[in-house]
Chain A
């Protein structure tokens, strides 16, 4: 395992993907996400450091899944900057879900600043034969 792991590179936080995404005062960031599919589920994993489970807002309407999380500045009022390499603000990202998702059963978990959404796939409807009774 140790040999295969590469060294991590720092990357700048990404700003909003479009200007229309600006929803709040202050900087908005696009969280990094992994989207992968297993047999029964689609998983969305998003890095949102600093977002507490209470501050995350997951909204699902008309097949649009909206993730937003606000990070309030952790610095105290009397702290003076010495080095600043990152800013804090609001994380925002939207996805369009297909009808294949069992929307009422979406599950969300937040641990160590990582949001993990489980989107269960709808089981294919089994064809049903309707028997016609002869009377």
Chain B
């Protein structure tokens, strides 16, 4: 009896409705993505500290990382070929036995990250600075990686 009933239901199933429902859900999800907060989830984090943004402008790469509370002295930076290594340590606040914590969200610890850039870099012209907790590394492309104009001679 149960089987017969469910078979009856199945034959009455309207596929149009199903697709309409799916389409409605798809639109709903798309609408959610319009919210600025949802846009944050689009960022692809590598899970490695620190998070890095790389941009390109003509013959220069810019690499930026958010490193709040890290002094330039506590940072180690090296460039070999087209790989940049950032390493360092974020120190926690010195505390004594009288310190009582109410909230601890800021992490401390060591970090090391290697990033390979899409083209060769001229290491000698690289420059880095740290301001307001943002590390900015300017990486000019090597001569060999720059696009070259080739003159065409008419024969």
Question: B-contacting residues of A (Cβ < 8 Å)?
Answer: 5-13, 15-16, 19, 22, 25-28, 32-39, 42, 45, 47-52, 74-76, 78-87, 89, 110-114
Q: Mark each residue of chain B from 76 to 108: 1 if its CB lies under 8 Å from any CB of chain A, else 0.
A: 000000000000011001010011111111111
Nearest B-chain residue to A85, judged by Cβ: B51
B46 at the interface (CB under 8 A from A): yes
Q: Is the CB of A12 within 8 A of B105?
A: no
In this complex, the interface size class of chain B, counting residues with CB under 8 Å from chain A, is 35 or more
Binds A, one of B9-17, B23-31, B61-69, B147-155: B61-69
- Are A50 and B110 CB-contacts (below 8 A) given A12-B40, A26-B36, A75-B55? no
Is B132 in contact with A51, judged by CB distance below 8 angstroms? yes
Docked Cα-Cα span, A67 to B38, in Å, equals: 23
* Complex-state Cα separation, A84 to B112, whole angstroms: 18
Assess the A8–B111 pair: CB atoms within 8 A.
yes
Chain A residues contacting B41 (CB-CB under 8 Å) are 12
B57 within 8 A of A: yes
Known: A78-B57, A85-B51. A5 touches B106 (CB 8 A): no
A38–B97 alpha-carbon span in the complex (Å): 9
Q: Once the chains are docked, how many angstroms separate the CA of A45 from the CA of B68?
A: 11
Distance of A50 Cα from B58 Cα, bound (Å):
25
Interface contact B43-A84, CB-CB below 8 Å:
yes
Cβ–Cβ contact B93 & A45, under 8 A: yes
With an 8 A cutoff between CB atoms, is B39 at the interface? yes
Q: How many Å from the CB of A48 to the closest CB on chain B?
A: 7
Given contacts A33-B106, A84-B43, contact A114 B56 (CB under 8 A): no
Interface contact A83-B53, CB-CB below 8 Å = yes
B56, A50: Cβ atoms closer than 8 Å: no
A19 to B32, CA, bound (A): 13
Q: Identify the closest chain B residue to A75 (Cβ).
A: B55
* A76→B57 CA distance, assembly (Å): 8
Complex contact B37–A15 (CB within 8 A)? yes
Within 8 Å CB of A45, what residues of B? 93, 106
The minimal Cβ–Cβ distance linking A29 to chain B, given in whole angstroms, is 8
> Which residues in chain B, 119-142, are within 8 Å of chain A measured between CB atoms?
130, 132-134, 136
Q: A6-B110, A82-B54, A112-B71 are in contact. List 4 more A-B contacts (CB 8 A).
A: A7-B111, A10-B47, A12-B41, A83-B115
- On whether A8 and B37 interact (CB within 8 A), knowing A79-B56, A83-B54, A113-B134, the answer reads no
CA A10 to CA B49, docked complex, whole Å? 4
B1 at the interface (CB under 8 A from A): no
